[in-house]
Amino acid sequence: MEAEPKPETLLKNKAQTSYPVYTRQEVAKHKTVESGIWVTYKSDVYDITNFVELHPGGDKILLAAGGALEPFWSMYAVHKQKHVFEILEEYKIGELRPEDVQETCDVTDPYRKEPLRHPALKVNSLKPFNAEPPVQILSENYLTPNEIFFIRNHLPVPEVDPKQFRLNIEGEGLKSVQLTLRDIQTKFPKHTITATLQCAGNRRSEMNGVRQVKGLNWGLAAIGNAKWAGAKLSDVLKYAGLPEDIDAKHVQFEGLDKDITGSPYGASIPIRKALAKDGDVLLAYEMNNEPLPRDHGFPLRVIVPGVVGARNVKWLNKIVVSKEESKSHWQVNDYKGFSPSVDWDNVDFNSAPAIQELPIQSVITAPSNDEHLNSDMNEITVKGYAWSGGGREVIRVDVSLDGGQTWRVADLSEVKPNEGQAWAWKLWQLTVPLPKDQKNMEIICKAVDNQYNVQPDTVAPIWNLRGVLNNSWSRVKVTIKSK
């Protein structure tokens, strides 16, 4: 019996057939669903009409309609991966006339002015730059050093001259106000908080164990804790004349980092959080007693404690008080949670709210998965971090050394926050005798916050196509070996 051809061979065969040849002008006529949406990559022409709805990056794909993908893909280098080229290959319909091939390939790299980064960071993507520290280092410091604090950029890092910098504020019932960096540092009281910032995609890689998700392959360290100082957003909004009886429901933020169309990174938060007396939302200019590093938003960023990283807009350019949420791609078509039943062919981003406060989280940072422990050791120390969104304090971390059959309570770092303002993580540890009679151990941790929210025990029931909000029990398997 003849074996079924593998998909790779099918692709190869497909590539060998001869294709019609098109000019750039002919391709440029295909920009709409009616005419078909065509794009080019190098010397090939693709009809992607049927892919547009399935595109994980949303409508942005239409920017390339009728033209070349290269300038956009040099901006969003997430595309330079095998699985993306495989998708593209399915839509090939033709080839470009040889004299038309060269034209678009000469792109100036928008990433040529990126800052230098600490070599210990594990790079998830270079352009845009995304990286996390080794998890063993993460739990060594209550305040994460700036140099190894995870970096999550969606676009090139903007170059900002602090003297030229202006923050623009506008919206419902406000005066339009422009503030210099000095204004922000001198006109308003300096407020300092210690707050943990966590990306919605922290621990995404564990979700791939259930089913492949789309996104950066974050490990356990897309999270960090820092001391932030700046002006209170509520003070600045009052200065701009924010009325008492305000209809607006949202505060929108725009960054200075822009995509190829000039559209900036953006996000919004509920105005309730922005104005709450104990909300502590900052326009921060310092991180751990230093000016903000370029990668973390120099010269000014929003810190929304208790709220998902994505709303903590860096390189802040503009604040808009509005009845509406931000229209940014990252507010509307990303950073939302879905049922495990939802996939890319039936997802409706309008059906879910934007993530704001994050759920209870805890992670084992030591020992690491697959570590070999020496059976001569008498004790083992398990370490980790624990944090909950919305200012909810972590009250307990339970640790199991036998896959969840029995539990012990870990020691928490003693920092007593005010009620509702537990913005910072707690580091925890537990030292126990090493079991002598065992060869393998599954260590688990799970945390509880002061509203008695708990973590789910496995990933499968919270799996979602974008791989966000993974707060399942943290598990580490170790072997105990004699020397």
Give least dist CB 200 to ligand MTE, A. 7
Cβ pair 470, 363 in contact under 8 A:
no
User: Residue 167 phi/psi, 5° resolution?
Assistant: -95, 125
Instruction: Choose the one of ligand MTE, Mo ion, ligand HEM, none that binds residue 476, judging by a C-beta under 5 to 8 angstroms depending on kind.
Output: none
Q: Does 92 bind ligand HEM (CB under 6 A)?
A: no
- Rounded CA-CA distance 184/22 in Å is 56
Options 39-47, 112-120, 270-278, 305-313: segment touching Mo ion (CB under 5 A): 305-313
Q: Does 478 bind ligand HEM (CB under 6 A)?
A: no
State the pairing for strand pair 250-258/264-270: antiparallel
Of residues 24 and 311, the one with the C-beta less far from ligand MTE: 311
Residues within window 2-41 making contact with ligand HEM, judged by CB under 6 A: 39
- Rounded CA-CA distance 381/306 in Å is 29
Q: Does 197 bind ligand MTE (CB under 6 A)?
A: yes
Helix, strand or coil, per DSSP, at residue 271: helix
Burial 78-104 (b: 16+ CB within 10 A, else e): bbeeeeeeeebeebbebbbeeebbeeb
Cβ pair 445, 410 in contact under 8 A:
yes
Cβ pair 128, 106 in contact under 8 A:
no
Instruction: Choose the one of ligand HEM, ligand MTE, Mo ion, none that binds residue 64, judging by a C-beta under 5 to 8 angstroms depending on kind.
Output: ligand HEM
Burial (CB count <10 Å: 0-12, 13-18, 19+), residue 129: buried
State the pairing for strand pair 426-433/379-387: antiparallel
Of residues 268 and 312, the one with the C-beta less far from ligand MTE: 312
Options 54-62, 106-114, 159-167, 344-352: segment touching ligand HEM (CB under 6 A): 54-62
Q: Does 475 bind Mo ion (CB under 5 A)?
A: no
Maximum alpha-carbon separation in the chain: 81
Active site residues: 55, 79, 152, 199, 335
Q: Does 151 bind ligand MTE (CB under 6 A)?
A: yes
**Which of 225, 357, 339 has its CA nearest to residue 287?**
225
- Rounded CA-CA distance 81/410 in Å is 42
Q: Does 152 bind Mo ion (CB under 5 A)?
A: yes
- Rounded CA-CA distance 328/266 in Å is 5
Of residues 131 and 271, the one with the C-beta less far from ligand HEM: 131
Q: Does 94 bind ligand HEM (CB under 6 A)?
A: no
Instruction: Choose the one of Mo ion, ligand MTE, ligand HEM, none that binds residue 265, judging by a C-beta under 5 to 8 angstroms depending on kind.
Output: ligand MTE
Residues within window 211-230 making contact with ligand HEM, judged by CB under 6 A: 214-215
Interface residues toward ligand HEM, by CB under 6 A: 39, 48, 51, 55-57, 60-61, 63-64, 69, 72, 76, 78-79, 84, 87-88, 154, 214-215
Interface residues toward ligand MTE, by CB under 6 A: 149-155, 197, 199, 255, 257, 265, 296, 309-310, 312-315
